[in-house]
Structure 1
Amino acid sequence: MPDRPYHHGNLRTALLTEAERTLREQGIEALSLRDLARQAGVSHAAPRRHFADRQALLDALAETGFARLGEEMRVAIEGAGEDCEAQLRAVAGAYVRFATTDGALLDLMFGAKTATRSAGLRAASERLFTEFGDLVRRWQRGGALPPGEPERLRLLLIATLQGIASLVASDRVQAAQADALITDAVTLFAPCRHP
């Protein structure tokens, strides 16, 4: 059997793509640098140029997850227009879709203790939470969310969305009901509007 090539066009990206597929289809236990090298068609040592060990791979995978979730939320906001309540509903939908499509990735993203995370992963996580906090304050100013402490409201909103996603992912609630639950959640969070 010929030796596998060491070089690859963009090995880091290829490994992360394959790792995400493996995570989605087989779970975190199936992730190994050796198997990813084999799937990418490179030597078993090649991934170590990008990831010192399996934990470094997991951190990088979680970091890309935070970046992708942030991008999906930004796209949802842009598609919702200027109405704050429509933006809130769109972001909630984007979060629940991400959580139900990539539940294992979301678990990885939120599962690691902050102290053990790499600097890049901590920064990606903090960036997403900061952006979400900014959105909560904007939605409070726009009347889509009630006044109060934005940090507590942000955590409560994320917990609610995660709860909806967990119910859908565990088949306790049909996926078709997710939109109705999101609408109900937004209605519960939104302050009463008087005629």
Structure 2
Amino acid sequence: MARTADPARRVELIDAITAALAETGLATFSLRTLAAALGRSTRVLTHHFADKDALLAAVLTRLDEQQHAALAATPGWDDPAVGIGTIVADSWRRHLSPAELPRTRLIHEIEGLAAAGRLTGQVPAFVSGRARFVAAALEVRGLGPEEARTKATLLNNAYSGLQADHLTTGESARTEAALAELCALADSWT
């Protein structure tokens, strides 16, 4: 008789998988190589995930949860007196911090593979969910739902593009000056 998967152990496993993928990337990812990197058997992975796609879907869901929790924990997130630009700048510092950088790179890799048509599944929901989440912060600051979602889409994609530029070129001064402009623009919306 098969054992029922323990939800807490599954979350721990997903976090370990995410950390491993953040270090190695997705290029050489297989259940076998991932299990070896974790010091586990592939059986442990298949006990919790039906296949590679299910595992990636779980990683995306967990990354989404972690990103939303980190944003919501940013001082001023739900305070309309705090400009959205402040939240964006705080997010930038967190995403590019040494502790968070591998996960930030993994997210960019996932988005790039999805844009190239090499990943299916939850990536579109991952991106659109981020827009809905940021739109909620803009609504708290007085924007209507439709305008908030449009502005959140613009903000998220400009932010992501600047971050990709920064990670690709290493040009901190230029990308951070552009980020300051983006923050000022976002603050002007509210």
Amino acid at match of 1:73: L
Distance 2:17 2:154 in 1: 31
TM-score, length basis structure 2 = 0.71
Is residue 2:131 matched to residue 1:134? no
Structure 2 gap ranges (5+):
none
Is residue 2:100 matched to residue 1:103? no
The structural deviation recorded for 1:88 is 3.4
Higher CA-based Rg = 1
Distance 2:41 2:189 in 1: 61
The structural deviation recorded for 1:9 is 10
Listed one character per residue, the Cα deviations across residues 21-57 of structure 1 (whole Å, up to 9, x for unaligned) are 2222221023222233334444332211111111111
From 182, 186, 190, the counterpart of 1:189: 186
Sequence identity (%): 19
What does residue range 154-173 of structure 1 map to in structure 2 within 5 Å? 154-173=152-171
The match for 2:65 is: 67
The structural deviation recorded for 1:125 is 5.6
The match for 1:151 is: 149
Listed one character per residue, the Cα deviations across residues 109-136 of structure 1 (whole Å, up to 9, x for unaligned) are 67548x9425xx7766655432211112
What does residue range 7-46 of structure 1 map to in structure 2 within 5 Å? 11-46=9-44
Aligned residues: 177
The match for 2:54 is: 56
The structural deviation recorded for 1:154 is 1.5
Distance 1:70 1:110 in 2: 21
Distance 1:39 1:83 in 2: 46
Shift of the 117–158 alpha-carbon distance from structure 1 to 2, 3 Å rule, reads same
The structural deviation recorded for 1:89 is 1.9
Structure 1 gap ranges (5+):
1-6, 142-147
Amino acid at match of 1:186: C
Contact 2:132-2:149 within 8 A present in 1 as well: no
TM-score, length basis structure 1 = 0.69
Distance 1:136 1:110 in 2: 27
Distance 1:47 1:16 in 2: 10
From 81, 88, 96, the counterpart of 1:83: 81
Contact 1:22-1:31 within 8 A present in 2 as well: no
Instruction: Choose 91-100 or 152-161, whichever is displaced more.
Output: 91-100
Amino acid at match of 1:38: A
Q: Please, what is the CA RMSD of the aligned residues?
A: 3.7
